[in-house]
Structure 1
Amino acid sequence: MRYRNFPMVPRVVFGNGSFLQLGEILMPKRKNSEAPFIFFIDDVFDGQPLITEVPLLFNDQIIFISSEEEPKTEQVDALVAKIKESFPVLPSGIIGIGGGTLLDLAKAVALMLTNDGSAAAYQGWDLVKKPAIYHVGIPTISGTGAEVSRTTVLMGPEKKLGINSDHTPFDQVLLDPKLTQGVPKEQWFFTGMDCYIHCIESLNGTYLNAFSQSYGEKALELCHEVYLKDISKEDSRDKLMMASWHGGMSIAYSQVGIAHAMSYGLSYLLGVKHGIGNCLVFQYLEEFYPEGVKVFKQMQEKHQIKLPTGICAHLSEEQFDIMINVSFGLVPLWENALGDNWKEIMTYDRLLQLFKKI
Structure 2
Amino acid sequence: MPERSHAVFLNRVYPPTPGATGALLAELAPALVEQGWRVTILTGPEDGEPRSERRADGVRVERVRAVPFDHQDVWQRALAYALLFPAFLIRALTMPAPDVWVTKTDPPMVKVLGPILARLTGAQALHWAQDLYPEVAAGVGVLPDGGILNGVLRRLSTAALRGHDHVVTVGRCMQERLVAGRGLPEDHVSVVPNWPPSVVEPVPHGENPFRAAHDLDGRFVVMYSGNMGLAHPFDTVLSAAEHLQGLSPEVLFLLVGNGPRKPELKRAVEQRGLSNVRFLPFQPRERLAQSLSAADLHLVTMRPGLKGLVVPSKLYGALGAGRPALFLGPAGSEAARMVRDHDCGTVLPKADGTALADAVRRWHEAPERWADATERARAAVAGARANAVERFDTLLRRVTDANT
TM-score by length of 1: 0.31
Q: Choose 1 or 2 for highest CA Rg.
A: 2
* TM value normalised by structure 2: 0.29
